[in-house]
Amino acid sequence: MKQAVLYVCHGSRIRQACDEAVSFIRRVQTHIEADIQEICFLELAEPSIEEGFAACVRKGAEKIAVVPLLLLTAAHAKEDIPKEVAEAASLFPHVEVTYGKPIGVHEKLAESVLKRVTEQGNPGPGSLIVIVGRGSSDPDVARDLKEISLLVKDRAGGSEVDIAFVTAAKPSLDDMLDRVSGMNDKRIFLVPYLLFTGLVMREVMRKALSVQHPDLTVCRYLGYDSGVEEVFTERVQEAVSNRNGAFDFIYEGKTHASIND
């Protein structure tokens, strides 16, 4: 049976962000054993999930592993992408579908965060590292980013480590910046926990520039470094191998095979 992988990127109005996503996936594809590999976007860019799924089928795919290129698990991974995949899969009931996990919590992501910090200087007991996420009303996002912050703290040489969110979750970046503005004795590193550049990154920069602090640095966004690439490659391989049916695609309590029942 021909195996396909359908990579689902978020999409962005900023062309550079989409180009970065495609470039990253092209690197990952060299590590994946699959007959067919296609790239699509959830929104704001083309091809769509439906178009990407159909392209896999046209090329002869009988099994498709759909893998979201997302840092954390939230509504896009739990609801938006599965809904689109279910609609696409309903047109091809003969195709087996598996669904991979977002990148999630992993020690290599903590190492990637610290790499961004050390590009700007050496953290230590007099430093505060703030990992800045996009934010979501889904509590799993705050929980996962907190877990990552604890992994960073274990490796940070005595630095304090905290988290903040640009939108929809607490603590907010605004509140965090208000707090650090009075910490003139500390070196502050803001690490945007983002895969690509875009509007959220611009917002982080805008807010940071408004803060009066003698030693506040905005690090590069997490980006697609080697650690991120290695973990995402694992996520793809998991969805393809689908050991014990752990990645069978289930939508609203139904497997793909029963969607049209």
pLDDT tens column, 86-131: 999 999 999 999 999 999 999 999 999 999 999 998 888 989 999 9
| Residue 255: predicted pLDDT | 61
Instruction: Provide the mean pLDDT of the chain.
Output: 93
Q: Residue 134 has what pLDDT?
A: 93
What percentage of the chain reaches a pLDDT higher than 90? 79
* Confidence tier at 261 by pLDDT (50, 70, 90): very low
pLDDT tens readout for residues 212-231: 888 999 999 988 789 999 99
**Which residue has better confidence, 122 or 49?**
49
Residues recorded for the chain: 261
**Residue 41 confidence (pLDDT):** 97
Q: Is the pLDDT of residue 252 over 80?
A: no
pTM to 2 decimal places: 0.91
**Share of residues in the chain with pLDDT > 70 (%):** 97
Distance CA(159)–CA(156), nearest Å, equals 5
Average pLDDT over every residue of 30-58: 97
pLDDT mean over 241-260: 76
What lies within 8 Å, CB to CB, of 152 at 6+ separation is: 110, 113, 114, 129, 131, 161
Give yes or no for residue 256 having a pLDDT over 70: no
Identify the pLDDT of residue 260: 42
pLDDT band at 18 (very low <50, low <70, confident <90, very high): very high
Given this model, what pLDDT does residue 254 score?
64
Please state, in angstroms and rounded to a whole number, the distance separating the CA atoms of residues 45 and 9: 9
**pLDDT band with cut points at 50, 70 and 90 for residue 197:** confident
β pairing state of 36-41 and 3-9: parallel
Cα-based distances in Å from 140 to 72, 75, 144, 154 = 8, 10, 6, 21
Task: Read off φ and ψ for residue 223, nearest 5 degrees.
Answer: 65, -170
